[in-house]
Every structure is written in C-alpha cells, then in structure tokens.
Amino acid sequence: MSEIEDKSDAQHIGADHQLSAPVPWYRKRWILWPILLLLLLLAVIVFFVIHESNVKAAAAKRALAAIKPSVTSTVATATKGDIGVYLDAIGTVTPVYTSSITAQASGVLTAVHYREGQLLQKGDALIDIDPQPYEAQLLQAEGALERDTNVLAQARMDLERYRTAWAGNGIPRQLLDDQEKIVLQDQGTVKNDQGTVNYDQVQLSYCHITAPIAGRVGLRLVDPGNVAQAGGSTVLAVITQEQPTTVIFTMAEDSLGQVKARMRKVKTLPVEAMDRTQTTKIATGKLFTIDNQIDTTTGTIKLRALFDNHNGALFPNQFVNTRLLVNTLEGVTLVPTAAVQHNGQVAFLYVIANGTASVRNITTGVADGGMTVVEGINPGEIVATSSFDKLQSGSKVLMSKQAPPATSAEGNTP
C-alpha cells in the first residue's frame, strides 16, 4: 500500500511541476497580433513612400521631355534669282586634227629633229631620209630633159629652114610636113622629161618630212638609222592639234528638239567641261555642231563642242563631263541644295521663324551650282542647312554661320 501511495504522490508532483512551467512568447496571442499589425503598417508606409517617389520621378521625366533643348544649326535665306537648265553628258576630248605621219619615200633615216612632246608649228622639220638615191634620179631626169630640149630646138631650126626652102620651091611639101611632126614629137618628149623631173623632185622632197599641222608631237617612234619603207604602215610621228580642240558627247534623242529650238533662238549654246567628280570646271566652250543621224541602237545623237583650250587643260582623248546650257529660268525661288531633305518621295525644308523650326513640304525643280529651285517657300524665309539629325518640328534653333561639329544626316523623317 505504501508503494502505491508513493507512486501516486510522485505523479501528482510531476503534474504540478508541468503546470507551473513558463509559456513561450510566440504562443502568447496578446503579443503576436500587435507585432503582425505593426509589420503590416510598416509595409503600407513603405509602399506609399515608394509609389510617391516613382510618381515624382515620372513627372520629372515628363517635364524634362517637354523641355526641348536648343539645336545649333547653320541657316540660309531663300532668294529670288536666275538659274540655268543644263543637259549633262559624258564626253571625250577629240582634237580637230590628228596626223599620223608615215614614210612616202624609202630609205635610211638620217635625222630625227623633233623632241618628244614638243609643240610644233606647221612646216617645222621632223625627220630626214637619206636623199642621195633620189638626188641621183633627179639628176638623170634633168639630164634627159636638157638633151631633149636641145633636140627640140634643133628640130625647130630645121623646120624654119624647110619653110624658107618650101617658100622658094626648093623642097617638096611632104618634107616640110614631116619636119612639123618631128617638132611636135620632140615637144612631147620634152614634156615627158619635164614630168619625170617634177616627179623626182617630189620624191626628193619626201626625204625631208615636216609638220603638216601645228600641234604637239608624241613620243619618238623611230631613231636615226632605221629604214623607212614608202607606203608602209610604220608610223614615224604623231602630231595632235590641241588649240583649239573639241569635245564629242552624246545626248538622248528626246532632248534634240529642245537643243535645236534653243539654237534657233540664241545661235550659240555654252558648253562646260567638268572633271570626273563634276565639282571643278575645266574649260568653257560652245556647241559647234550636231551630227546628222541618230544612233538607232542607243537612241542618242552625237554633238561636238569647240574649246579654244589656251591653257591646255583639255587633253586629247580625255574623258570629261559636259554641261550644255539649254535654258535659263528667271525670277525663281532658290535655296541651298543642302537644305532640301527627303522623306520617301516627299521633299521638305526646316523653316526657322522666331528661333523655332517647322517642317515645310516643298516641290523641287532644277538644281545647279549648289542651289535648287523650290516651290512652297517665299524668298526671304530662313531655312536650316545642317543638324538634321537633331531637328524636328518645334525645336528651338540657335542659328550659326559655321556648321556644328556633329555630322548632319539627310533624308530624316520630319
């Protein structure tokens, strides 16, 4: 009984001990709920603070975007003036005369008188061929002529004697007639001898070759000691006339009527010869003539322009760009070509008024010398000529006489 009582007492003591142990704080509800409410309140406060800052940042961005920065741009003023209408073409400098000299007498070349690239006048010495064989032939011909001339003189003296004798009935008529025919035969012989002399003189003159035209001689093609053949294909020298010279260029047949109408009106049409880049004018001349046929394979016609070429700027066979003036537009509105922008097929300008840019659609026309004919803008209005990558409608513009350092781009959409 005592043991059972002791166990029962021990169990009561353990139960009392468990009931008297402290409870953890997270199990106490009156403490947990205030903490959760406090955390929720902090989260709400943080959310509203972040949202307010974002709203303020977005408003600041919108305010900055609404303020458009000023754009520095060069400007130009639309003017009223005249501009030429040109037909552009590719041409070739073609000398008026080019002489390729070949030998007309056979023999050894004894001298070459010209210097390579020398400017020659008509009649200047070029080449000498050994003349001795031709001098000998000429001497023989002159000897035969002299002999037959004296034979003719003797026949004429006999004829006079026969006439006197026949007048006195000293000889028959037949003898006189025979002597008259002998004189005529001797005259033919003398004439034949004279022709031989003249021919040999010409052949001898071929031994001394001179310049047939004034111009510039090319590189030396033969040397002393070479043998020339009469009628051969070997060229001894080439002379090209440089002053004046011409340029031959082609033009579409559709433009022929316009050119002919202008020629009937003003007679002379100016032609400019430009370099390959079409930026530098080489020479100015005039239209000389138009070919008499249209090339049916290409639908073009050739024209020749004449240039005095005093400074030698045009060189034979040089390729040049030609500009034929066919009309002049008077009293049109002009702006720099650099100011014209394009958006697809639409041309436009940035017009500057009161320091603000606005887009103006225009219609373009002829362009020449960095200027373009436009419609849709009045003379005196100011247009931008640079900074197109920054300009837009409503942009504030600081006008400058010098282009800004940034490279401007053409063809931007307004």
For 122, half-sphere exposure in the C-beta direction (CA atoms, 13 angstrom radius) is 6
Statement to judge: residues 228 and 134 lie in one domain: yes
Cα distances from 411 to residues 345, 387, 394, in angstroms, run 10, 12, 18
Domain range for 116 is 105-237
Query: How many domains does the chain fold into?
Result: 4
* 123 within some domain: yes
User: β-strand 371-375 against 319-336: which pairing, if any?
Assistant: antiparallel
3-state secondary structure of 15: helix
What pLDDT shows up at residue 328? 85
Statement to judge: residues 309 and 335 lie in one domain: no
| Domain end call among 188, 208, 237 | 237
What is the block-wise mean pLDDT of the chain (414 residues), using blocks of 10 residues?
49 49 55 74 81 75 60 88 90 94 94 94 95 95 96 94 89 90 95 96 95 94 93 92 94 91 87 90 93 93 95 93 90 91 90 88 88 91 88 83 47 45
Runs of H (alpha helix) within 115-272: 132-167, 173-205, 256-266
| CATH number of the domain that residue 395 is part of | 2.40.420.20
* 179 within some domain: yes
Cα distances from 57 to residues 51, 147, 318, in angstroms, run 10, 128, 68
Statement to judge: residues 49 and 119 lie in one domain: no
* 6 within some domain: no
| Domain end call among 275, 303, 329 | 329
What pLDDT shows up at residue 24? 57
* 229 within some domain: yes
Statement to judge: residues 319 and 393 lie in one domain: no
Write the single-letter amino acid at 82: D
Write the single-letter amino acid at 222: V
CA 391/CA 386 separation, integer angstroms: 9
What pLDDT shows up at residue 29? 59
What pLDDT shows up at residue 103? 94
